[in-house]
């Protein structure tokens, strides 16, 4: 006996792809259309710079932070749009939200995943400052190629890790062996 095929749009992977695409596009429109121009975004960037500055001071870098700029006698860097981890966090959130899992697990996945990516972004800013201060010729490749590529890979890997954890926590279907 042949099982019925799901109607178009009802297959889980199609539903996932459509929801993910809508959320990803929506987040980009919000980012570029509203967030970048908002006063709150500048406050957020200054907070990111402030936290990164504290981390650099822990590493004996004696930095000063003014607004979103971090500086010392060796180097200065401006935390600006694209240096905020908002876009990769939004993409991860879109993928987690679109995945067919219980709401509570999706909320937990978004919160933990976004916290993880934000933490990595602080590591990124601190490392870029150190690279600029001590290995200035490596700053541009690290800033434009190495870190963006790494963060994309980590974002995808984080989502895959979360999906694998979700698959392990799924209760067995009725009528199957546990």
Separation CA 167–CA 158 (nearest Å)? 14
pLDDT tens for 31-50 read: 999 999 899 999 999 999 99
pLDDT tens for 92-109 read: 999 999 999 999 999 999
pTM tops 0.75, yes or no? yes
Question: What size, in residues, is the chain?
Answer: 178
Q: Got the DSSP string for 10-38? A: TSHHHHHHHHHHHHHHHHHHHHHHTGGGS
Domain boundaries, the chain: 12-169
The stretch 137-166 carries a mean pLDDT of 96
Residue 127 has pLDDT above 90, yes or no: yes
Give Cα separations from 68 to 12, 35, 51, 52, 164 (angstroms): 43, 16, 10, 10, 38
């Amino acid at each position: 006996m042949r099982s019925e095929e799901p109607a178009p749009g009802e297959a889980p992977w199609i539903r996932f792809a459509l929801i993910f695409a809508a959320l990803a596009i929506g987040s980009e429109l919000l980012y570029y259309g509203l967030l970048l121009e908002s006063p709150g975004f500048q406050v957020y960037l200054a907070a990111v710079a402030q936290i990164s500055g504290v981390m650099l001071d822990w590493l004996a870098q004696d930095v000063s932070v003014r607004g979103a700029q971090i500086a010392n006698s060796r180097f200065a860097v401006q935390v600006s749009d694209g240096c905020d981890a908002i876009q990769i966090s939004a993409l991860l959130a879109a993928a987690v939200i679109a995945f067919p899992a219980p709401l509570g697990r999706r909320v937990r996945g978004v919160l933990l995943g976004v916290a993880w990516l934000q933490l990595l972004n602080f590591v990124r800013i601190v490392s870029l400052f150190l690279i600029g201060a001590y290995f200035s010729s490596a700053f541009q490749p690290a800033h434009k190629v190495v870190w963006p590529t790494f963060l994309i890979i980590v974002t995808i890997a984080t989502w895959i890790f979360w999906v694998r954890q979700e698959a392990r926590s799924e209760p067995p279907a009725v009528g199957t062996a546990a």
